[in-house]
Amino acid sequence: KITDTAIIRFEQIYPLHTQKLLSILSRHSPEAEIVWCQEESENMGAWSHLALKLQNLLGKPIRYAGRDASSSPATGSLAIHNLEQALLVQEAFTSASAKPSKSSPPAREVKHEAKTRASSRATGKKKPKNRKKK
């Protein structure tokens, strides 16, 4: 059960109701981490429009949790879509201050490897083996 998170849904991004947003955020700790989470790719949706505006308004960085930038609005694969959806929700609810163990690879590497495996399963193609050079 998550008890330390507030979710604010933007119904209108232009014009941005800054006073209303600041009023809502004032109910929470000024040290609270702000995370922007969206289903759309990073270069689509409201993030690209609001990222700089919100950082300037709030005077602190905002962490993005969502799909990587893409030229297509959809992956074309249900397996990859479901994987990306699970990863973005997990990323949104994981604090940036939570440090991964020394043995765990960076999140982007895990995400890329998982997407590659899901893509291989969806298309039936096997991932090429790494060949050692002599």
Of the two residues 123 and 40, the one the predictor is more confident about is 40
Q: Quote the CA–CA distance of 86 and 10 in Å, as a whole number.
A: 22
The mean pLDDT value of the chain amounts to 82
Out of 3-7, 43-47, 101-105, give the one with best mean pLDDT: 43-47
Helices 18-25 and 47-58 meet at what angle, rounded to 10? 60
Query: Which residue has tokens 């919100």?
Result: 54
Cβ atoms of residues 9 and 46 within 8 Å: no
For residue 46, name the pLDDT band (cuts at 50, 70, 90): very high
- The residue among 85, 72, 93 whose CA lies nearest residue 118 is 85
Work out the average pLDDT over 36-42. 93
